[in-house]
Structure 1
Amino acid sequence: MLRRRHLPAPLVVAVLLAVLPIAVTFGIIVGSVGISFADTWRILAHQVVPGAVEPTWSVAHERIVLTARLPRVLLAAVVGAGLAMVGAVLQTLVRNPLADPLLLGVSSGATFGAVLVTIAGITVLGMYSVPLAAFLGALAALLIVYTLARSGGRLTTIRLILSGVVVAQVLSAAASLVIIMSSEPHAAKQVMRWTLGGLGGTTWDMLTLPLITVLVVLVLLGAQAGALNVFQLGDEMATGIGLSADRFRALVFVLTSLATGVLVAVSGPIGFVGLMMPHIARLLVGSDHRRVLPVATLLGAVFLVLADLAARTLASPEEIPVGILTSLCGAPFFLWLMRRDARKG
């Protein structure tokens, strides 16, 4: 059998690092009010180095770029990067190519926690109340799914997916029930739209926590890339080299749940990014996590920036929740993966 040839990882990373600013730029310049490529970069340059360029653009254009579009586009990049990173790690951790934060119920758990705190008006920790609730919900959902799927001592693809679907449905129904029973119709309507997954209304304050979380989790998981490579071969192999499988799995569960919870808190549940991007990364650079993690992360950032751009423009002046578009892309991809695995089986 011929071995699949992969591209050099540094080349792929370099290309994606070049493509990402281009995608971000298009995300800024395209919209109901068109802004030229030159003006966009002049405005940004003026903010980075005041006085570097003469401000010949209108105040309205500057506000659109800096207040409305730039924070939204950057948040899309952060959320896409984080979801792709989480998906890549979860697929290895449960040794299942169909694993995804949405399919495993992790996003639904985070959504339920966030909805519960939002509707109840719990603000004990201020701006961190919703992310903390989303993290706890994501972690609880992941542990429940994993426990259900391992009943009988063996983790199979069908059992994992079925457990994830059941838990996701139960938690989604619970979140909907909380929204319906809310005595605050305005809050309920806002939360209901948020549950479809979207980035509308993004502000600079919403960007800091997700960015720090994704960077920290990426560094921590990147430091465990070698252990993740061993984990692909099974718990026995990991134990054979002195790695505690249960302890390592618990650590990664906490990190992935933390990232998912924080991301869902600011964007709502956006599905299939964590399913598609890791597989595309492996097709490009192979299965070594030292290459997969950075490539999948950059792919996720580029993909969600472009998906959000499409969500804002396809039905203009109306806006499509970006979660709907990612699901329309992800569902055929999911079916293709199932058929591919069935042929291999």
Structure 2
Amino acid sequence: MEISIKQKRSLSNKKGFLFWILLLTVILAATVVIAIAVGSTYIEPGEVYKVLLNKLTKGSLLGDVGTVMTQNIIWEIRFPRVLLGAICGAGLALCGVMMQCVTKNPIAEPYILGISSGASCGAVAVIVLGGMSAIGINSISAGAFVGSIISGVLVFAIGTKMGKTTSTTRLVLTGMAISTIFSALTNLLIYSAENSNQAKNALFWTVGSLGGAKWDILLLPFIVLVIVMIIVFIMSKSLDILLLGDDNAIVLGINVKFIKSMILILATLLTSSLVAITGAIGFIGLVVPHVCRAIGGNDHKKLIVLSSLVGAIFLIISDVFARGLFPPIEIPIGIITSLVGGPFFLYLISNRNYDFGGKE
């Protein structure tokens, strides 16, 4: 009888998880269509669907649909932007799951290692020092990527002694120190800007935007996201065991140093590739994993899938508000996500939910 009850519970949990996956997938698809439809020029969702179907099937299912201008707006401008939002939202949420597990800190997020500060410093350096004309149109993203990688390497080298220690406290404190240094350098660069346009561009970039989305920049972050997601999914059992504590994980045969080092490297690589394109978009990695834990618990296989879907939906919707609140002016998307994430952060503090799954 006891085995039968366990099997029934397992089957019920599996059905519940599949239901959420199906529901979130449908919501994501609907969100994509609505996000493409909304803008300075409103396009009927039905027409958006037809144009996407036409383009994705290269006209084999539908003939010519919409005007050339409408097709260009949908396919060349809005669809790449929505896809970038989905990739970035899913990636940051996944990084949040990884960082909260490694640090065993429920208020950790992808930028806890100072990656966003390093990226901001690299991008602002290019904007203010005029490197764009020397390197090319993508030099801001290149500068941000280099800055984020330098920050991540410094935190890993100092915080873990090149993988020799698993001290969470040392890692977090190192990240805070590196972040402070890069933030100070960023502010110094902004104050040294020769004109207001440079300062404005620098400040806008530091709070994030999906405005630079183009087809030719989507492939790299997408590939990195897929690779990281597959590797983390394979390591999900080890992540579950890590939540029991380092000592218990070692007793159960887990190589804690290797697992933590791998997660830090993967999180740094994924966050860097995203921040280099979109800028620093905050609170997604903090908010989304907690929402998903309320749905699927602490099982990292479920968390990885749920967080990716919810993160994609959340950022796409945030971008719709960023574009639509004060048209034709676009609000930096980081402001929208912070307005949602800030109150949620206060909710966590007020409810003292500092652990994974219970109250302190």
User: Aligned partners of 1:110 and 1:141: how far apart in 2?
Assistant: 13
1:50-108 CA distances to partner (integer Å, 9 max, x unpaired)? 25323241111111101110000100000000000000110010000000123553322
Aligned to 1:246: 257
User: Aligned partners of 2:226 and 2:79: how far apart in 1?
Assistant: 19
Task: Say if 2:205 and 2:279, in contact at 8 Å, map to a contact too.
Answer: yes
For structure 1, list consecutive stretches of 5 or more residues without a partner in the other structure.
none
Aligned to 1:26: 34
For structure 2, list consecutive stretches of 5 or more residues without a partner in the other structure.
1-11
Percent of aligned positions with the same letter in both sequences?
A: 34
Amino acid at match of 2:72: R
Matched, 1:100 2:109: yes
Matched, 1:137 2:146: no
Task: Say if 1:198 and 1:323, in contact at 8 Å, map to a contact too.
Answer: yes
Aligned to 1:336: 347
Task: Say if 1:118 and 1:130, in contact at 8 Å, map to a contact too.
Answer: no
User: Aligned partners of 2:126 and 2:262: how far apart in 1?
Assistant: 25
Aligned to 2:243: 232
Q: Work out which structure has the larger RCO, using CA pairs closer than 8 Å and 6 or more positions apart in sequence.
A: 1
Deviates further, 272-281 or 106-115 = 106-115
SS at match of 2:345: helix
1:174-197 CA distances to partner (integer Å, 9 max, x unpaired)? 112223335587555433311111
User: Aligned partners of 1:24 and 1:10: how far apart in 2?
Assistant: 21
Amino acid at match of 1:60: M
Aligned to 2:49: 41
1:185-264 equivalences under 5 Å are: 188-264=199-275
Over 3 Å counting, the alpha-carbon distance change for 1:145 and 1:65 in structure 2 is: farther
User: Aligned partners of 2:101 and 2:110: how far apart in 1?
Assistant: 13
Cα deviation, residue 226, structure 1? 0.5
Over 3 Å counting, the alpha-carbon distance change for 1:161 and 1:243 in structure 2 is: closer
1:273-284 equivalences under 5 Å are: 273-284=284-295
Task: Say if 2:289 and 2:307, in contact at 8 Å, map to a contact too.
Answer: yes
TM-score (norm 1): 0.87
Amino acid at match of 1:67: E
TM-score (norm 2): 0.84
Task: Say if 2:148 and 2:272, in contact at 8 Å, map to a contact too.
Answer: yes
1:163-220 CA distances to partner (integer Å, 9 max, x unpaired)? 6555434322211222333558755543331111111132111211111111111111
User: Aligned partners of 1:146 and 1:301: how far apart in 2?
Assistant: 31
SS at match of 2:352: helix
Cα deviation, residue 296, structure 1? 0.6
1:272-307 CA distances to partner (integer Å, 9 max, x unpaired)? 000010001110011010111110111000000000
Task: Say if 2:112 and 2:176, in contact at 8 Å, map to a contact too.
Answer: yes
1:20-61 CA distances to partner (integer Å, 9 max, x unpaired)? 110000110011101111211111122122253232411111
